[in-house]
Structure 1
Amino acid sequence: MHTENIQTAGVSLQEAGKALIMIHGRGGSAEDILSLARHLNVQDYALVAPQATNNSWYPQSFLAPLEQNEPYLSSALALLSKTVDSIEAQGIAKENIYFMGFSQGACLALDFTTRNAAKYGGIAAFTGGLIGDAVYPDHYNGNFNGTPVFIGTSDPDFHVPVQRVHDTTALMQSMGANVTEKVYPNMGHTISQDEIDLANQLIFK
């Protein structure tokens, strides 16, 4: 289970008008993902990065049956919910809360926001999709009300099949998200400069 270990950077939550929740990938760390902020247009944001216990949000592939990733997945989702609540308690509304994740962190960002769809500031997912052996529409609730979303991925990607990215985009669009999806041929499991540029143009503007 995940203990609450939140790293912060940027402007303080008390002074910031916007907050970015940055979610690291499997084997990564809060410090790693925070270092990406220097490439993003987030100089005036509070940066909030939860740390997964043992550096992994859930043990199996994100495509495994959901029960195989429990109780870790539910614990990770609960930690994100608590993180959002703590940001809102500092006076930052959901429409000024942003999410960014890479790989396992991108999957978690997409799954959490779609389970709790609302008008957020924006979502940048670098190589990820909704979690589970299939996409289960009845697990997701709310309306994104035009929230801008960017999903970038490689085709092929060893961890994330491009069809799951397409299915994720379709479901989020059906729930009111303004999704920009870009598939990069043979990019590999990484974050490209073009993805950074698009995230800055579409999300962190």
Structure 2
Amino acid sequence: MRRAGPASGARAGIVLAHGRGGSSEDILGLLAHAGLTDVAAIAPDAPGQSWWPTSFLAPAAALEPYAARGVAALLDAVAVLEAEGIPRSAIWLGGFSQGAGLALETFARRGEGLAGVFGFSGGLLGTGDAEGPTDAALYGHGPKRFDYPGRRDGARVWVSVHERDPHIPLARVQETVAVLKAMGAEVSHKVYPGPGHTVMHEDIATFRQFLGG
């Protein structure tokens, strides 16, 4: 687990999750790119640089033990920021790729009272498998259930993806947006044209805008 930003007196906090093959150091670089010097950030490291060993679209049985462990890691980091005096309402979650999925999933499962979440090239994992055939729009995977408890009224969400992301199907991002809106969050989303799987300039600008208060 790494830290960035002020050790005390931070205006806001954020817990960031790196992508597959990435690191806490990599994802903390978002703060420097956005020029957010007064935000306290914590980034856990996934075991073996991967939060789960397969696609986030895989059946729930293959994902759930890893997803639960990842959610717990992000919540532990939220608790650290709260213990340091940052109110829960000023703490965000965020991540890229696999880390975006983890951040969004943590927010949906246990994000009551948080300020919001940034999902750069990611989507929800879901709470279980749903009935139905595999779907080309989900890259050959089956549908999921999204049975999350509680409301997220007033929280702000940013979700982005390229229209032909090789890892994140647009259909799952659209489901993610619909689910979080139904939970009461204020969701903004961006679909970038063409292929790609990266954090874009507009992502950084929105990161700066939302966290800049």
The verdict on a shared fold, with TM-score over 0.5 as the criterion, is yes
Pair 1:136-2:145 in alignment: yes
**Equivalents in 1 of 2:204, 2:50: separation in Å?**
24
Query: Following the alignment from structure 2 to structure 1, what is the Cα–Cα distance between the partners of residues 164 and 211?
Result: 25
For these two proteins, the number of residue pairs brought into alignment is 198
The structure 2 residue matched to 1:10, chosen from 2, 5, 21, is 5
CA distance in 2, matches of 1:65, 1:155: 23
Structure 2 CA distance for aligned equivalents of residues 142 and 64 of structure 1: 25
AA aligned to 2:143 is: A
* Structure 2, unaligned runs of 5 or more: 127-141
In structure 1, what is the equivalent of residue 136 of structure 2? none
| Residues 1:67 and 2:51 are matched in the alignment | no
Task: Using the TM superposition, give the Cα deviation of residue 84 of structure 1 relative to its aligned residue in structure 2, in angstroms.
Answer: 1.4
Determine the structure 1 residue equivalent to 2:176.
Answer: 168
Summarize the Cα distance change of 1:70–1:167 in structure 2 as closer, same or farther, 3 Å threshold.
Answer: closer
- Output one character per residue of 1:122-168: Cα deviation in whole Å (capped at 9) or x when no partner: 31111000014534232x12211211111110011111000100110
Contact 2:13-2:86 at 8 Å conserved across structures: yes
Work out the CA distance in 2 between the residues paired with 1:204 and 1:129: 24
Which of 24, 38, 43 lines up with 1:30 in the alignment? 24
Deviation of 1:197 (Å) = 1.5
Q: Which residue of 1 aligns with 2:86?
A: 92
Letter in 2 for 1:142: G
Instruction: Give CA deviations for 1:178-201 in whole Å, capped at 9, x if unaligned.
Output: 000110111501111122123323
- Report if aligned partners of 1:41, 1:204 keep a CA contact under 8 Å in 2: no
CA apart distance, 1:202: 3.8
Aligned AA (1:185): P
- Pick one of 106, 116, 120 that aligns with 2:110: 116
8 Å CA contact retained: 1:25, 1:106: yes
The more displaced of 45-54 and 91-100 is 91-100
Corresponding residue for 1:3? Answer: none
Within the alignment, does 1:191 sit opposite 2:199 as a pair?
yes
Match of 2:161 in 1: 153
Q: 1:144 and 1:160 mapped to 2: Cα distance?
A: 24
Q: Aligned to 1:71, what secondary structure does the other structure show?
A: helix
Match in the other structure for 1:45 = 39
Contact preservation (8 Å) 2:95, 2:119? yes
CA RMSD of aligned residues (A): 1.6
Q: Secondary structure at the match of 2:93?
A: strand
Q: Using the alignment, how far apart are the partners of 1:67 and 1:46 within structure 2?
A: 35
Letter in 2 for 1:136: R
Q: Secondary structure at the match of 2:99?
A: helix
